[in-house]
Amino acid sequence: MRIIINGQEKDIKDGITIDKLLRELSLEGKVMAAAVNMNIVKQDIWDQYILKENDKLELLDFVGGG
């Protein structure tokens, strides 16, 4: 199935969770927040949240600076 991750189209497996997708993309531990279709998904349910066709996933990391 096709979703959009941070503005780029990507083909992923059907029925994949946010948590599993992050592992497949080698991003576990690097992403601090996720939003699907402009709705924040709490990190404690990433292992249960199943992505759907045409979802728009935004993965965010917080960077300190000044």
- pLDDT value at residue 30: 87
Query: How far is Cα 51 from Cα 40, in angstroms, rounded to an integer?
Result: 13
Q: How many domains does the chain have?
A: 1
Dihedral sign from CA coordinates of 2, 29, 26, 64: positive
Would you state the pLDDT for residue 34? 96
**The predicted structure's pLDDT at residue 33:** 95
- Does residue 56 fall inside a structural domain? yes
pTM for the predicted model, two decimal places? 0.89
Residue 52: which domain range? 2-60
Report which of residues 25 and 65 the model is more confident about: 25
pLDDT of residue 5: 97
Check residue 53 and report its DSSP letter: T
Instruction: Give tens-digit pLDDT for 31-50.
Output: 899 999 999 999 999 999 99
Q: Is residue 27 part of a domain?
A: yes
Does 13 fall in a domain? yes
Determine, yes or no, domain membership for 41.
Answer: yes
CATH of the domain at 35: 3.10.20.30
